[in-house]
Amino acid sequence: MFRDSFKYYKSRNPAPNLDDVIDLENPDHVKVRKIKANISDEQDENNFGLKPAEKWIIYELLDIPGLIFIQNPFTPNGQRYWIIKCLKDYSKEPYKLNIDAHNILANETWWEICFQMSERAKILLPKLRWSTLGYHHNWDTKLYSENSKSAMPMELSGLTSILAKTLGFSDFKAEAAIVNYYRMNSTLAGHTDHSEMNVAAPLFSISFGQTAIFLIGGPKQEDSANAIFLRSGDVVIMSGSSRLRYHGVPKILSTSRIPWDDNGEDNREIITYNYDDWRKARTYIVEARINMNIRQVLEPGQIVLY
Ligand SMILES: O=C(O)CCC(=O)C(=O)O
C-alpha cells in the first residue's frame, strides 16, 4: 500500500533500508526500455542549459508504463541557471507563493530578504514551500480558473517544449507549473494530479539539488508503490497510464555528488547567469531540493477554461 511505503521511507528512526530504491544510474536490476531522443534543430538555437540530446540517457520503466526518466540532461551551468530562476524569479509576483498568505512580504521579495545576514532571513528562508506559475493551482478547490493565472515564464515553456519534442510529445503546451521547495526534513504527501482538464498530456517534473526518494504507486491508494532516486537535474515524465498514479516524496537525502559544482566551461554554451546570484543560490541548494512540475491544462484546441 502506498501509505505503508511512504511511512517506511519517511521514518528517521529506524532509518529505512534503501536497497530496493530504484537507481536509474545503475539500471541493471530494473526492467527498462531505452528510448532514443528525437533530435530537433530547435535545440541548436537555444539550449536552455541542456546538453545535446544525443547525449541524453532516457528510459521508460516497463513496470510503470508511460513513466519516462531522463538522467540529468543539464550542463552544470544549466543547473545553476535554473536554480537561480526558481529562487530569484519564480519566488515573486506575478507568481503565487505559499507565504503570500502569511502577509510577511511588504514591498520586498523573498529573495531580497533571504540572502542577507539577518534574523528575518533565517526565519523566512525555510518558509517558502511552493510557487505557482501560469494557471495557478488552487490547493483548496483543486481547480484552475481564468481569473487566476499569470503568463508562463518564456524560458520554462521553451525548456519544456524541447523536452517534450525530444520525447515525441510535440503538441505539449506548458500552461501551469508548481515549483516545490524542499528543506532536508520536508516531505510531499501522496496524491494524484488530476486538476488539469487534459490528463492525456504528459506531466514534466524536473529536480535540482539534494536527492529525493520519489514514491510512485498505482491509480489507487491501495496499490503497492515503487521508490526511485531522483538526483539533481533528473527529469521524470508521467505520461500515458502513469499520468494519474499516486506519487509523493517521503524523504530528501543529502547528496555526495554536486553536479552544479562541476566545471562548467564550454565556450559554445549560451546560457548565462549572474555570479553573485549563484553565490547566494548555492548556499540554499546545499541543503534543499527544488522541483519544477509542469503541466498542460487545456485540451488541444481549447482556448480558455469553462
Ligand atoms: O517533488 C517532486 O518530485 C514531486 C512533486 C509533485 O508531485 C507535484 O508537484 O505534484
Structural domain count of the chain: 1
What is the whole-number distance in angstroms between the Cα of residue 205 and the centre of ligand 1? 7
Note whether residue 227 is domain-resident: yes
Distance between CA atoms of 197 and 104, rounded to whole angstroms? 34
- Specify the ligand 1 atom closest to the Cα of 212: 3
Give me ligand 1 centre to Cα 245, in Å: 12
Task: Let me know if residue 25 belongs to a domain.
Answer: no
Q: Note the pLDDT of residue 103.
A: 84
pLDDT of residue 45: 63
Do the domain assignments include residue 305? no
Residue found under cell 484546441: 301
Domain housing 107: 2-16+32-295
Domain assignment present for residue 303? The answer is no
Residue 41 is predicted with a pLDDT of: 64
Residues in the chain, pLDDT under 50 = none
211 lines ligand 1 (CB under 6 A): no
Q: What length does the chain have?
A: 306
Do the domain assignments include residue 302?
A: no
User: Ligand 1: distance of its center to the CA of 248 in Å?
Assistant: 6
Query: What per-residue confidence (pLDDT) applies to 269?
Result: 79
Residue 113 included in any domain: yes
Nearest CA, atom 2, ligand 1:
291
Residue 71 confidence (pLDDT): 98
Residue 26 falls inside a structural domain: no
Q: How far apart are CA 77 and CA 263, in angstroms?
A: 9
CATH of the domain at 182: 2.60.120.590
Measured on CA atoms in the order 32, 33, 36, 37, is the torsion positive or negative?
A: negative
Query: Does ligand 1 have an atom closer than 6 angstroms to the CB of 249?
Result: yes
Indicate whether 265 belongs to any domain.
yes
Q: Whose CA is nearest to atom 7 of ligand 1?
A: 248
Closest ligand 1 atom to 289 CA: 1
Per-residue model confidence (pLDDT) at position 299: 93
Distance CA(256)–CA(48), nearest Å, equals: 26
Q: Is 178 in the pocket of ligand 1 (CB under 6 A)?
A: yes
Judged by phi (left if over 0) then psi (alpha if -120 to 50, else beta), residue 66 lies in left
Q: So what's the pLDDT on residue 93?
A: 96
Considering only CA atoms, which of 67, 68, 128, 58 is closest in space to residue 96?
128
| Ligand 1 mutation pick, 70, 98, 178, max ligand atoms within 8 A of CB | 178
